[in-house]
Amino acid sequence: MQPILATNTETEESVQLLIENDHLIVTESLTLTAQSSTVETKEKVNLEFIYGIDYTQNLLSVHFIEKQTAVSVSDTGNKTLTNIRPQDIQWHLRTLRYTLNDTSFVTQLQYLALPHLNELPNTKIVVVLNPTSGLQLAETYWQTIVQPMLVTAGFNESNISKFMTEGEGKTRALAESVGQRILSTEEQGPKPIIISIGGDGTLHEVVNGLKDLGRGDFRLGVIPAGSGNAFALGLNIENVQQATLKIIKARKEEPFYLMDVQFGHSNTKENWQQQIEYDQLKKPVRLLVIMSWGFHAQIVSKSRYLRYFMGNKRFSLVAMFLLKFLHQYEGELVLKKSKKYNPELEQFVENENDVVLDGRQPNEGFTYFIVSKQHSLEKGFNIAPFASPLTDDVDVVILRGVDADALTKASIEAFQGGIHVKSDKVEYYKTTDLLLRVKQKADVCLDGEIHSLPANGVLHLRTVGSSTPESSFTVFV
Ligand SMILES: Nc1ncnc2c1ncn2[C@@H]1O[C@H](COP(=O)(O)OP(=O)(O)OP(=O)(O)O)[C@@H](O)[C@H]1O
């Protein structure tokens, strides 16, 4: 495509606009530089980052997200649990404005950058927002980033409705009634989008509430505003701007996988897996992020009330306290149809039979135990590096009978790109079906909420797809 002439409305400079290799490129005007062999590039915007394009009365506005220039910090000190977190990269919204007289250039730019532009004005959006997630910034994110981006992109303000969550598990029922309302008013045209703005706990309740309906087609947008935001990280969404962009672009929508959990108990010594008495649950439990027991569950449990004051640093503080009184948790684990990570081969190797890990003696007990559907439980904490929400298995990361030094080393290595999985102290598996029986009464963490298991309590976890023949459930990836 030929470059076209335009004028920068701010500087009144003559420039040329060009679309090349998936970028909008703005250079100084060639007519001004006829003698010069080099043409100065003034702007280069990846089309991926453009969220809105307006063109009225010859004025073109291109709205995009941009990384703030990183501030370099010297990084020479020793890594500890308190200084290992990565620095946040800030993004911001920016607009370029030019006057030009070329509709076909604008149409081409819109076609390439915003492929679903025509659908946006008629798409309904329902937002479920938890004002208390993370550092309590969800409402600010909504007002200053998400809503402006959606409206600028072309969504109609009158098609957007927003619901605030309440505490004590009420979000699940809220999501169910929101889903009910959507299904009862379903019209022709693009399917509505449900956006969860909060952390993993909010998302857990939104997905469970919608799944409770047992029918319907739902499209889910995930805006990370919590502390961990592990589900968003699993989709490689690192910030609010990127997350909103994924909804606007709607390039790809995929079903994802959840962990279905059943509770029960088994008091028999041998063959306990065949003799489990399952509890009748009031509601199914489907996890999106994590089931943990022992050290990790205790961190979550003991740091709950520090959430508003300390952000993610609270996890390090509580971890350092728990390391002083490190406990080995006794129980048995059965992994069915599993694969074990082999660090030498750098791949998972299939196990022919069920894997049974017996940790009933204190010195063989489980020091660390997590089952994760996401690669990182918070930004940088790459505890299950090969996990993905889009595959049908879960990752199990275990350390047994280790001391505080070994656990600290593994935690730091998890922050260093997940290299802990190469250590001979770490057992790393993938499975689709697991059974855990705890010896003593124990706390387990289920997507951030703490649940108590009795002595000889059993937890049975299996992966299930978000889309079933009755209902489809996709997320923007
Ligand atoms: N209006 C409210 N007031 C108080 N608590 C609320 C309210 N709405 C939801 N909650 C509680 O917020 C918790 C969920 O928070 P969420 O998981 O979204 O944030 P987070 O814990 O900061 O993030 P993450 O789970 O990603 O680490 C639930 O315990 C829920 O009961």
Q: What's residue 452's pLDDT?
A: 96
Burial, 352: exposed, middle or buried (Cβ in 10 Å; 0-12, 13-18, 19+)?
A: exposed
Whether ligand 1 lies within 6 angstroms of the CB of 234 is answered as no
Closest ligand 1 atom to Cα of 230: 26
CB atoms within 10 A of CB 13: 15
Closest ligand 1 atom to Cα of 226: 23
pLDDT score of 71 more than 60: no
Whether ligand 1 lies within 6 angstroms of the CB of 16 is answered as no
Ligand 1 geometric centre to CA of 202 (Å): 6
Give the H/E segment covering residue 176. helix 170-184
Structure tokens at 138: 């969800």
CB atoms within 10 A of CB 326: 17
Phi and psi at 89, nearest 5°, equal -90, 125
Is residue 224 within 8 A of residue 282, CB to CB? The reply is no
Tell me the C-alpha distance between 224 and 200, whole Å: 8
Tell me the C-alpha distance between 311 and 85, whole Å: 12
Confidence of residue 237 (pLDDT cuts 50, 70, 90): very high
Q: What's residue 471's pLDDT?
A: 86
Between the CA of residue 342 and those of 346, 370, 411, 416, 427, what are the distances in Å? 6, 18, 19, 19, 9
pLDDT score of 167 more than 70: yes
Confidence of residue 317 (pLDDT cuts 50, 70, 90): confident
Whether ligand 1 lies within 6 angstroms of the CB of 200 is answered as yes
Look up residue 319 and give its amino acid. A
Is residue 461 within 8 A of residue 373, CB to CB? The reply is no
Tell me the C-alpha distance between 85 and 22, whole Å: 33
pLDDT single digits (tens) 16-52: 999 999 999 999 987 655 555 678 999 999 999 999 9
Q: What's residue 469's pLDDT?
A: 87
Mean pLDDT of 261-290: 94
> Which residues have C-beta within 8 Å of that of residue 416, sequence separation ≥ 6?
79, 84
Between the CA of residue 132 and those of 174, 279, 311, 399, 429, what are the distances in Å? 16, 32, 12, 33, 35
Among the listed residues 306, 312, 434, 414, the one whose alpha carbon sits nearest the alpha carbon of residue 368: 414
Q: Is 423 helix (H, G, I), strand (E, B) or coil?
A: coil
Over pLDDT 90: what percentage of the chain?
A: 80
Mean pLDDT of 308-312: 68
Of 169-178, 250-259, 299-308, 458-467, minimum mean pLDDT range: 299-308
Tell me the C-alpha distance between 187 and 1, whole Å: 40
Query: Could you tell me where the DSSP H helices lie in 213-348?
Result: 230-234, 240-249, 295-303, 307-310, 313-324
Ligand 1 geometric centre to CA of 412 (Å): 27
Q: What's residue 37's pLDDT?
A: 65
Structure tokens at 64: 């995009």
Whether ligand 1 lies within 6 angstroms of the CB of 205 is answered as no
- β strands within 182-244, DSSP E: 193-198, 216-224
Structure tokens at 380: 């940088």
Whether ligand 1 lies within 6 angstroms of the CB of 201 is answered as yes
Structure tokens at 457: 């309590």
Of 70-79, 286-295, 301-310, minimum mean pLDDT range: 70-79
- Enumerate domains of the chain plus CATH numbers: 1-71+79-114 (2.30.29.30), 117-251 (3.40.50.10330), 258-465 (2.60.200.40)
Q: What's residue 133's pLDDT?
A: 94
Among the listed residues 430, 437, 427, the one whose alpha carbon sits nearest the alpha carbon of residue 460: 437
Mean pLDDT of the chain: 92
Q: What's residue 290's pLDDT?
A: 98
Mean pLDDT of 268-273: 91
Q: What's residue 302's pLDDT?
A: 87
pLDDT single digits (tens) 244-258: 999 999 999 999 999
Q: What's residue 36's pLDDT?
A: 59
Confidence of residue 138 (pLDDT cuts 50, 70, 90): very high
Q: What's residue 389's pLDDT?
A: 97
Mean pLDDT of 120-145: 96
Which pairing describes strands 91-99 and 4-8: parallel, antiparallel, or unpaired?
antiparallel
Among the listed residues 62, 57, 17, 8, the one whose alpha carbon sits nearest the alpha carbon of residue 39: 17
Ligand 1 geometric centre to CA of 168 (Å): 9
pLDDT single digits (tens) 437-458: 999 999 999 999 999 999 999 9
Tell me the C-alpha distance between 151 and 324, whole Å: 51
73 versus 17: the higher-pLDDT residue is 17
Is residue 245 within 8 A of residue 67, CB to CB? The reply is no
pLDDT single digits (tens) 334-365: 999 999 999 999 999 999 999 999 888 777 89
